[in-house]
Chain A
Amino acid sequence: MNVPENLKYTESHEWIRVEGDVAVIGITDYAQDALGDIVYVEMPDADLAVTKGDEAVNIESVKVAEAVYAPVSGAVKDINDDLEETPELINKDAYGTFIYSIAMSDPSELDGYMDAAGYKAFLEAQE
């Protein structure tokens, strides 16, 4: 399973790329594989205030509808408009396709998340 080194990971299978005070968020290769063909991504509004743990995004696949949780608190900054017409981009390139980003109000909330080695071990323990 593909797990890039430079990202942080949550137990609910989101990846986070930290760019200064901004957290760029997507879902992992494991998550897109488990979801199957993605058919719709319901985005948050720009500037929406989110609290760590909120259901910020909903992803619908041919199998299920699943929430993507906000891994940190803050305000929604950018959303990936391409996903409106081509949600399958997440299936094709899970790490190259961000879903949205958050301007963080408390970057220390990132501290508890896993690095690549930790997430790999977490996935193996799930098997």
Chain B
Amino acid sequence: MKIEPDQLTAFEGTRPGAPGYRFPDADIPTGKASVPGTLRRKTPAALPELSEIETVRHFTNLSRRNFGVDLGFYPLGSCTMKYNPKLNEDTAALSGFSALHPLQSDEDSQGVLEMNGRLIEGLCEITGMAGGTLQPMAGAHGEFTGMKLFRAAFRARREEKRTRLLIPDSSHGTNPASAHLAGFDVVTIPSGADGMLDPSALDPYLDDTLAGIMLTNPSTLGLFETSIQEVADKIHGAGGLLYYDGANLNAVMGRTRPGDMGFDVVHINLHKTFSTPHGGGGPGAGPVLVKEDLLPFLPVPVMVRAGDGWKRDWDRPQSIGKVSGWYGNTAVLVRAFTYMLSMGGNGLKRASDLAVLNANYLLASLKDVYNAPYPGPCKHEFVLSAKKLKDTTGIAAMDIAKGLVENGIHPPTVYFPLIVHECMMIEPTETETKDSLDHFVDVMKELRELADTDPEALHQMPQSTVVRRVDEVRAARSPVLSHMMIGDRPD
């Protein structure tokens, strides 16, 4: 691997004696006078030394190697890469939020407590739930919190033997992982031929060992589980609970509510549905909301109204405890609250409607170009399969994904859900224009033609990117986990 000068880390590019700033002499005691000898460094900190412009160029060059929704179309299914309004950044930067210390008293933190409390109230209104916590810092963290709430509820009922948790085979991989981590035994439920959950598939498990079910609705195939009422009745009838993975809530806001469908615990991915930045691992936010009878188990502290203001309620003897060091990713919560208030109820409903309309426009435009295993109509996303394409031309979903990269478009999610072979999972979101959707359709058609006329060219894509096609087998088998390993990599 060739290292370009701008690929050097700031530490490698350091030039001793090239600082960006000179500080004026301090007029208060510093250094030796104020810090006891035992706490002082023996040698100076090994920080990179660069001038200001070198520092700016270093990070700007790195950012140019990235791709985000501010640069182009990003139809990454399930991830909801909608535009993040810049207004959110203004509010998150307000010093009343950004300069707070989490140990400040309730009295000194009324603004942020009100923001937390009203965000939970708004999310409860949207989902039909009774209360919640903002502590979980990601969707999977929310799932784990939800599973701990399930356990706490069963413990309170003296029903610890309820350990079997049902999860459809189209689920996000985090669902079985979260359930397993919380101590449940996961049972995979096969989807019906139409991609939907078949309620009769639950029947063998409706006994006193049933803990419940984790569902995403609409499902990862972009299909609304129309049997949800029957599923809820069966699970509740057997004494189990229903968990709603809110990854796809952005498809149904203002149209239906998980609480009305019968779900007992819900998590919401604020970084998806409520337009906060994500990608590269975060920071996210996965608030968890519950029905009335699960309120006692929520993590402490719970934000409650107190007189004209708000307070943190720590007196919750049945609480599962804290699930984050402080109170969650507060700056992300501010962005989501800003989005919720600036959109309003009708705006959120319209966002969901347009997300569904855009997805159906793409599905209708592409279903005869590629194979659509579920012909639709869909909700906010849909899947295409490149199975037949691969059988006839050797061009797989991965090749189409790389062809999109070459054309400046972020690929869809590929090879998920696992129940669709050579799957491409496409989610345009509501913030794309018709022009950008049409451009995507044109590129997808061109790539389909190229599969017939010059498949080798497609196998070689991308060509114009900084990193060309990566060797995925080598990347998995001998990963380079640090820039310091680049020279050591075995061939």
Q: Could you tell me which A residues sit within 8 Å of B by CB distance? A: 34, 36-37, 39-40, 60, 62-64, 66, 88
Chain A residue numbers with a CB within 8 Å of B421 are: 34
Cα A36 to Cα B415 in complex, Å, equals: 10
Chain B residue numbers with a CB within 8 Å of A88 are: 473
Chain B residue numbers with a CB within 8 Å of A40 are: 476-477
Question: B472–A37 contact, CB under 8 A?
Answer: yes
Question: A64–B473 contact, CB under 8 A?
Answer: no
Question: A62–B472 contact, CB under 8 A?
Answer: yes
Question: A39–B476 contact, CB under 8 A?
Answer: yes
* Shortest Cβ gap from A124 to chain B (Å): 13
Question: Would you give the 0/1 interface string for B442-485, flagging 1 where the beta carbon is closer than 8 Å to chain A?
Answer: 00000000000000000000000000000011001100000000
The residue that A39 contacts in the complex, of B414, B415, B418, B477, with Cβ under 8 A, is B477
Chain A residue numbers with a CB within 8 Å of B473 are: 37, 39, 62, 88
12 examples of A-B residue contacts, CB within 8 angstroms: A34-B421, A36-B415, A37-B472, A37-B473, A62-B472, A62-B473, A62-B476, A63-B414, A63-B415, A64-B415, A64-B418, A88-B473
* Shortest Cβ gap from A87 to chain B (Å): 8
Cα A62 to Cα B475 in complex, Å, equals: 9
Cα A60 to Cα B476 in complex, Å, equals: 9
* Complex interface residues of chain B between 317 and 341 (CB less than 8 A to chain A): none
Chain B residue numbers with a CB within 8 Å of A34 are: 421
Cα A36 to Cα B473 in complex, Å, equals: 10
A-B pairs, 5 with minimum CB distance: A39-B476, A62-B472, A63-B415, A37-B473, A39-B477
Cα A37 to Cα B470 in complex, Å, equals: 14
Chain A residue numbers with a CB within 8 Å of B415 are: 36, 63-64
Cα A114 to Cα B259 in complex, Å, equals: 45
Cα A34 to Cα B422 in complex, Å, equals: 8
Cα A82 to Cα B46 in complex, Å, equals: 45
Cα A83 to Cα B418 in complex, Å, equals: 24
Cα A123 to Cα B440 in complex, Å, equals: 34
Chain A residue nearest to B475 (CB atoms) is A62
Chain B residue numbers with a CB within 8 Å of A64 are: 415, 418
Cα A34 to Cα B472 in complex, Å, equals: 16
* Shortest Cβ gap from B39 to chain A (Å): 46
Chain B residue numbers with a CB within 8 Å of A60 are: 476
* Complex interface residues of chain B between 383 and 426 (CB less than 8 A to chain A): 414-415, 418, 421
* Shortest Cβ gap from A46 to chain B (Å): 24
Cα A34 to Cα B415 in complex, Å, equals: 10
Cα A110 to Cα B403 in complex, Å, equals: 46
Cα A63 to Cα B173 in complex, Å, equals: 13
Question: Would you give the 0/1 interface string for B261-281, flagging 1 where the beta carbon is closer than 8 Å to chain A?
Answer: 000000000000000000000
Chain A residue numbers with a CB within 8 Å of B414 are: 63
Chain B residue nearest to A126 (CB atoms) is B421
Cα A47 to Cα B86 in complex, Å, equals: 60
Chain B residue numbers with a CB within 8 Å of A63 are: 414-415
Task: For the A-B complex with A37-B473, A39-B476 known, give 17 more contacts whose Cβ atoms are closer than 8 Å.
Answer: A34-B421, A36-B415, A37-B472, A39-B473, A39-B477, A40-B476, A40-B477, A60-B476, A62-B472, A62-B473, A62-B476, A63-B414, A63-B415, A64-B415, A64-B418, A66-B418, A88-B473
Chain A residue nearest to B188 (CB atoms) is A67
Cα A60 to Cα B415 in complex, Å, equals: 13
* Shortest Cβ gap from A127 to chain B (Å): 9
Cα A39 to Cα B477 in complex, Å, equals: 6
Cα A37 to Cα B472 in complex, Å, equals: 9
* Shortest Cβ gap from A91 to chain B (Å): 10
* Shortest Cβ gap from B266 to chain A (Å): 28
Cα A36 to Cα B421 in complex, Å, equals: 11
Chain A residue numbers with a CB within 8 Å of B476 are: 39-40, 60, 62
* Shortest Cβ gap from B308 to chain A (Å): 53
Q: Which of A39, A40, A66, A88 has the most CB of B within 10 A?
A: A39
Cα A63 to Cα B418 in complex, Å, equals: 9
Cα A19 to Cα B477 in complex, Å, equals: 33
Chain B residue numbers with a CB within 8 Å of A36 are: 415
Chain B residue numbers with a CB within 8 Å of A39 are: 473, 476-477
Cα A34 to Cα B476 in complex, Å, equals: 18
Cα A36 to Cα B418 in complex, Å, equals: 13
Cα A30 to Cα B414 in complex, Å, equals: 19
